[in-house]
Amino acid sequence: MSLIKDVFEGKIQFMQVMDEKGDIDEELFPKDLTDDKLAEMLKLMLLTRNADAKAVSLQRQGRAATYAPTLGEEAVNIGSAAAMRSGDIFVPAFRQHGVYFARGLPLHLFYMYWMGFEEGNMIPPEVHGYPMSVPVGTQMPHSVGIAFAQKYKKTGKAVIAYIGDGGTSEGDFYEAINFAGVWKVPLVVIIQNNQWAISMPRSKQTAAQTLAQKGMAAGINGIQVDGNDAISVYKATADALKNADKGPTIIEAVTYRLGMHTTSDDPTKYRQDSEVSEWQSKDPILRLRSYLMKKGVWSEKIENDTVDEQKKLIDKEVEIAEAFKADPKTMFQNVYSFIPDELNDELKDAEAHNFWQG
C-alpha cells in the first residue's frame, strides 16, 4: 500500500483580455469598460507618459532630484487605478505615478516631491492613497494593517498595494502576505513585475517560475496578467476587488521598465538593446491606442489635442512646484497624525534656536 498522497496542488494562470496582435477574448472583456472609459484610460496613460518625460527632463536640467521613471509601465498604473472603487485605498511603492494621477493628485505635488519637498508626499485625503515608499517593501506590512482596519471597521473598502518584482524578495513582503492570508483581509497586491530590480534581472531574483505563486504558501490566490494591456490589468484588478471581502489576491502584472531605474542609473551597462526594443513593440500605449483607433473612438487629432492640453497643464503645475517655498516645520508635523511630545520638544527647541534660519 502507498502511504503517500497529494496534499496540495496549485496552478497559476496567465491572463490576456487583448493579446499583442489586438485579438480580444470577448468572454473576459469587462462589460463596464465602455469606449468612453477606455478613452479616458488612454488619456491618463498619455498624461502619465508626458508627466514622466517632463520629470526626467527637469532632473537633467538640475531642476529636480533623482527620479524613478514609469515609462512602459503605464498600463499597470492606469488599468488598476481605473478598476478601483471610489473609496478604495492604494498603497504604492515608488513607480506608481499614474495611479496618483488617475486618482486626482494635483500634478504639482508630484513634481514637488521629486524636487525634494516632503510636502509633495502629503497626499490629499480625497486621493485615498498613501505616500510613496522608497524603502523597498516597507509599504507591505502597512498595507495589510490598513486592510485589516477596513475589515475590522466594516468599511466595505479594499486596499490595493503595489510592489516591484525585486520587492517580493523582501521579508516584509512575505510577512505581509502571511498576515493577509490568515486574516483574509481585503487586500489586492499588485506585483509590478518590470523584469528588473535596478541591474538585477528577474531570472536572478528568484527561482520561482512566477511571482504570483508566492501567495500560495500564504493561502492566497494569484494570477499573472499581461501588464502591458490596460484591459487585462483592469479585469484582474476588478475581479480581485469584487472578491476582496472574502480575502486577498495577488496579481503579477508582467510588464517592462523601458527606461532607466532612476535618473542616476545607466541601463546600457547591464542589459541588451535588443531586449528593450522587443518590449518597445509591446508598448502599452500603442496597444490601447490601436484598439481604440480600430473602433473609431480615437484619432490622431484627438491625441494631438489631448497631448497639447496635457503639456500645458504640466508646465503650469511645474511652475507651481518651482514657486513652492518649503517650511522646515513640516518635517515635524508630517510624520504622525499628531505631534508626539518628544517630537514637539524638538520642534520647540528648533524654533527657539532658529535653527532653520542657518
Ligand X SMILES: Cc1ncc(C[n+]2csc(CCOP(=O)(O)OP(=O)(O)O)c2C)c(N)n1
Catalytic residues: 257, 261, 270
Which residue in 69, 120, 166, 267 binds ligand X (CB under 6 A)?
166
Chain positions 94 to 113 lying near ligand X, rule: CB under 6 A, are 95
* 43 scored as a contact of ligand X (CB under 6 A): no
Residue 353 CB partners (closer than 8 Å, separation 6+): none
Among 54-62, 159-167, 212-220, 337-345, which window interacts with Mg ion (CB under 5 A)? Answer: 159-167
Q: How many residues sit in the footprint of ligand X (CB under 6 A)?
A: 14
Separation of alpha carbons 294 and 297, rounded Å: 8
Helix, coil or strand: residue 281: coil
Binding mask 176-195 for ligand X (x = CB under 6 A): ------------------x-
Chain positions 81 to 120 lying near Mg ion, rule: CB under 5 A, are none
> What region, left, alpha or beta, does residue 8 occupy, with left being phi > 0 and alpha being psi -120 to 50 degrees?
beta
In the complex, minimum distance from the CB of residue 193 to Mg ion, in angstroms, rounded to a whole number: 7
Residue in 166, 158, 165 with CA at minimum distance from that of residue 90: 158
In the complex, minimum distance from the CB of residue 164 to Mg ion, in angstroms, rounded to a whole number: 4
How crowded is residue 233: how many other Cβ atoms within 10 Å of its Cβ?
31
Separation of alpha carbons 353 and 69, rounded Å: 40
Q: Which is nearer to Mg ion, 193 or 310 (CB)?
A: 193
DSSP 129: B
Which residue in 16, 139, 169, 194 binds Mg ion (CB under 5 A)?
194
Separation of alpha carbons 97 and 107, rounded Å: 10
Tell the burial category of 224 from Cβ atoms under 10 Å away from its Cβ (0-12, 13-18, 19+): buried
List phi, psi (to 5°) of 158: -120, 165
* 136 scored as a contact of ligand X (CB under 6 A): yes
229 binds, among ligand X, Mg ion, none (CB under 5 to 8 A by kind): none
* 197 scored as a contact of Mg ion (CB under 5 A): yes
136 binds, among Mg ion, ligand X, none (CB under 5 to 8 A by kind): ligand X
Q: Which is nearer to ligand X, 22 or 201 (CB)?
A: 201
Among 33-41, 153-161, 164-172, 340-348, which window interacts with ligand X (CB under 6 A)? Answer: 164-172
In the complex, minimum distance from the CB of residue 272 to Mg ion, in angstroms, rounded to a whole number: 17
Q: Which is nearer to Mg ion, 224 or 310 (CB)?
A: 224
> Which residue shows C-alpha cell 497631448?
307
> Which residue shows C-alpha cell 469584487?
242
> Which residue shows C-alpha cell 499628531?
338
In the complex, minimum distance from the CB of residue 235 to ligand X, in angstroms, rounded to a whole number: 23
Amino acid identity of residue 316, one-letter, is K
95 binds, among ligand X, Mg ion, none (CB under 5 to 8 A by kind): ligand X
The residue number whose beta carbon is nearest to Mg ion equals 164
Q: Which is nearer to Mg ion, 150 or 194 (CB)?
A: 194
Q: Which is nearer to ligand X, 268 or 290 (CB)?
A: 268
164: enclosing H helix or E strand:
strand 159-164
Residue in 54, 51, 55, 73 with CA at minimum distance from that of residue 65: 55
Separation of alpha carbons 292 and 306, rounded Å: 15
Q: Which is nearer to ligand X, 77 or 310 (CB)?
A: 77
* 198 scored as a contact of ligand X (CB under 6 A): yes
Helix, coil or strand: residue 266: coil
Amino acid identity of residue 136, one-letter, is V
Helix, coil or strand: residue 10: coil
Q: Which is nearer to ligand X, 48 or 150 (CB)?
A: 48
Q: Which residues bind ligand X (CB under 6 A)?
A: 95, 134-136, 164-167, 194, 196-198, 257, 261
Query: Which residues sit at the interface with Mg ion, rule CB under 5 A?
Result: 164-166, 194, 197
